[in-house]
Each structure stands twice: as C-alpha cells, then as structure tokens.
Amino acid sequence: MSDVQMIYDNSYKPGHVEFIDRCTAGHAGMPDSYVPTATKFALTDCDYLVCLAHPMGRLGISRLIWSWNRSLLDGVYNALSLDNYFLYMRPFGSRKKIYSLERKPRYLTGTMEVLALNSKPILCTDVQRGKWLTQLCHPNPRKEAQFLHWIPVAAPHNERIETGLATLG
C-alpha cells in the first residue's frame, strides 16, 4: 500500500503520530510552497497530541469550543479567537481528508503560522480533534507541551481566503 493511500484510508495507527516526507505529502495534495523548509510532516488524528497539550483536553474541551465555520467553496474551517486571531483548518488534496492547523492575526499585520511538532508541520486527519488541538495550543501551548509550537508558513497557498476572512471582521 502506498503512503498516499495510507493517508486517505486512515490505515496508519490511530492515536499515533506518523512522520511522512515532503514527497508523500506532495502526492497527497500538499503544495511545494507550503512551509518549504519542512522536509517531514507529522500525520496524526491529534488524539495523542490533544492529551499532551492539556491533561484534561478531551474531557473539559466543551468549554473551549468556539464557533467554527466551514467555507462551502473549499472546505476551510475557521474561528475567531478572543485575541483577534483567525484559526484555520485548511484541507489539502483532492479528497480533502488531511488538514493543516493554522492561525493568522485578524488584521493583516502578522504572518500566517502553522502548528508544528518539533518543527514538523502537523497534518490532521480528524476535524474535531484538530479543532481542539488548535484551540488548546493558541496562543501558546502549556509549558509541558513545549514540543508543540507555531512556525511561520512561508507562502500561504490561498491568499483569497485569508484576505476575504480578514475583511469580514
């Protein structure tokens, strides 16, 4: 079974983190301009990382849920945090089954950032857990989860979405 098929069929081990190379991520629909310095990506359903980001992450998450909206055009999930950041879950590939976890200041003064595991951008396969992890790690993960951090995305692949969302607020 190819690595790309593994991504789409969810045949990797749920609850674990698999590291895939840029070539495999590219075959799954990841553009080359997306975090061009990354040679590997962390593919996960985020269950394990949610538990690491916060010990009660799965139990007490209901109080953290913000209003997430989904774009009908391209399937991007977005939420506005209390500190004026847009949080995104952006789908990749033709099947739209893997998501990047991103954030950007509401006003176009800052840069787009992606959530990473030890400098490897996280690709999530579970929408709900991806939302939880994004929220638990914003603005910064707790001290015990310092291996999770935000890194800049050198070239966002969809300027139209960012600009359109920024003008809404």
pLDDT, tens digit, 9 for 90 and up, residues 54-77: 876 666 555 555 689 999 988 999
H/E stretch holding 114: strand 113-117
H/E stretch holding 13: none
Q: What percent of the chain has pLDDT over 70?
A: 76
Phi, psi of 135 (to 5 degrees): -70, -40
pLDDT reported for residue 169: 40
Span of 24-38, 56-70, 75-89 with lowest mean pLDDT = 56-70
* 27: three-class secondary structure by DSSP: helix
pLDDT, tens digit, 9 for 90 and up, residues 16-25: 888 999 988 8
Question: Considering the entire predicted model, what is its pTM?
Answer: 0.81
* 98: three-class secondary structure by DSSP: strand
Residue that wins the pLDDT comparison between 93 and 71: 71
Q: How far is residue 132's CA from residue 136's CA, in Å, rounded to a whole number?
A: 6
pLDDT reported for residue 96: 81
- Asked if residue 116 has pLDDT above 80, the reply is yes
pLDDT reported for residue 60: 52
Structure tokens at 66: 């913000």
pLDDT reported for residue 14: 63
pLDDT, tens digit, 9 for 90 and up, residues 125-156: 999 889 989 988 999 988 888 899 999 987 54
Side-chain-side CA neighbours of 43 within 13 Å: the count stands at 25
Q: How much is the mean pLDDT over the chain? A: 80
pLDDT reported for residue 94: 73
Structure tokens at 140: 């910064």
